Amino acid sequence: MTQAPRLTRSAPAARPGIVHLGPGAFFRAFNAVYTEEAMQAEGGDWGIIAVSLRSAAARDQMGPQGGVFTSVTLGAGEMEPRVIGSVVDVLVAPEDPAAVIAAMADPAVKVVSLTVTEKGYCHAPATGALNLGHPDIAHDLAHPDAPRSAAGFIVAALAARRASGAAPFTVLSCDNLPSNGALARATVVEFAAQMDADQRGGDLAEWITQNVPFPATMVDRITPATTGADIAKVAEATGRYDPACVLHEGFRQWVIEDDFAAGRPAWEAAGAQFVASVEAHEVMKLRCLNGTHSTLAYLGYLAGYETIAEAVADAHFAALCTHLWQEEIIPTLQQPVGEDLPAYCRGLMARYRDPSIRHRTWQIAMDGSQKLPQRLLGTIADNLAMGRKPRGLALAVAGWMRYVGGVDEAGREIDVCDPLAADLRAASDGAEGSAAKVAALLAQRAVFDADLAANETLRALLVEAYERLATKGVKATLREMAGDMTSG
């Protein structure tokens, strides 16, 4: 069979106004689409220079196409493809870090945005502090002109802008993290402070604190990883071969704190919501969506379900989600302006059930050590403070503990993709029995803070849940717990 001709740019590219770190599937399904629509509606020079901090894959996929790619909306068994042209260049940081710094230092660039995932902030998830012992941070402090980390590049570019007298850019975190703007600010300022200390009296950190906005955001669009079969289907539907294509659900939501140094695209023309504070929206999404997504990922994977849709097709998994929302998550939330929390959760279940969105449990389970504090542990802490026993959330954490043990219910090895995978496996393997394994994993301070780990109510719930999962399996555990989970 002859391969379809490659997708190429057919219209002039916009002038760049944004540099984006982390041009993965979510960026293409989300930021790039919003920016394309904003420019179509209101104009402006907001072309995106996309920067990969690690792999050359995005450049190799989009570069020969002039940066364009196909965005495919899935739903009702149909595909709706459209070509997105907001990306105007793709750089690979390890190949030429100086070129990345130069692009970010260009005064025409008004926004530097990020989708680098939790681990890209090189922080300790349990505390939010910059991990000065992280290999990339240590490297960047020693070699500030050739950084590897997001913080290293941002600080290098801001230092260049300050030295040239150019105005700063806005740093816009678009990762699924609570207070992502504050986290980005803390890691960047701490990195700059370390550089100041090394230079004996510099004041770059203070300049950043006084001049650089770090608005918070809440982002939401389910975006499964693109497969070779997906690329073939898109080529068949469009007549163009596009290895950079991305598939996603129709739903999307972007809530942004309106705090920018030097302008921004008219993202509101594409449906973004600009607010004074994002906090209530981001906590709603992290706990309601990401919390249940992680629950379904760990327990679903252990039970043999490949996708979220397959998991919630099991009535006991769907019932667990409903229990979590009604009894353990919503009671901890402040309802955001314009939202109806029960209706929001019903909408989530409808999104989960869509079989055209093949969101793999293994994909969602990645980097759990970085995700647990934001998605599950904060909700658990709030329940405990309210005098409630979060049995469902404890079961989710016990599922993670079983998952990072590296062996599924059929005795097969699990490919645990996590920056702490080796440490977590060693902790689990080095303990005998459910109580000891739970204790060993609770002792991982990169994940669990000391106060939560010492809570006897939580420890008892985790040991009970872990023992059930270990001896009876996920499905039998959910059947047995169906009755008592309604007790809260």
What was the pLDDT predicted at 126? 83
Tens digit of each residue's pLDDT (9 = 90 or more) over 432-449:
999 999 999 999 999 999
Please state, for a pLDDT cut of 70, what percent of the chain lies above it: 98
Q: How confident is the model at residue 338 (pLDDT cuts 50, 70, 90)?
A: confident
What was the pLDDT predicted at 484? 63
Range 412-436 average pLDDT: 97
CB 287 within 8 A of CB 391: no
Q: How confident is the model at residue 22 (pLDDT cuts 50, 70, 90)?
A: very high
Complete domains list, the chain, with CATH: 16-275 (3.40.50.720), 279-487 (1.10.1040.10)
pLDDT higher than 80, residue 77: no
CB 373 within 8 A of CB 447: yes
What was the pLDDT predicted at 2? 64
Q: How far apart are CA 52 and CA 35, in angstroms?
A: 19
What was the pLDDT predicted at 483? 65
Q: How confident is the model at residue 195 (pLDDT cuts 50, 70, 90)?
A: very high
pLDDT higher than 90, residue 481: no
Q: How confident is the model at residue 488 (pLDDT cuts 50, 70, 90)?
A: very low
123: β partners: 130
Range 188-205 average pLDDT: 90
CB atoms within 10 A of CB 424: 25
Range 11-20 average pLDDT: 97
What was the pLDDT predicted at 93? 98
Paired tokens of 462: 């985790």
Tens digit of each residue's pLDDT (9 = 90 or more) over 317-335:
999 999 999 999 999 999 9
Please state, for a pLDDT cut of 90, what percent of the chain lies above it: 93
Q: How confident is the model at residue 337 (pLDDT cuts 50, 70, 90)?
A: confident
What was the pLDDT predicted at 201? 67
What was the pLDDT predicted at 373? 94
Q: How far apart are CA 269 and CA 364, in angstroms?
A: 31
Range 390-418 average pLDDT: 96
pLDDT higher than 50, residue 202: yes
How far CA 354 is from CA of 57, 86, 297, 299, 446, in Å, comes to 29, 29, 16, 19, 35
Mean pLDDT estimate for the chain: 95
Question: What backbone phi and psi angles, to 5 degrees, belong to 343?
Answer: -65, -40
Paired tokens of 283: 């906590």
pLDDT higher than 50, residue 308: yes
Q: 127: Cβ–Cβ under 8 A, 6 or more apart, which residues? A: 449
What was the pLDDT predicted at 76? 77
Tens digit of each residue's pLDDT (9 = 90 or more) over 247-286:
999 999 999 999 999 999 999 999 999 999 999 999 999 9
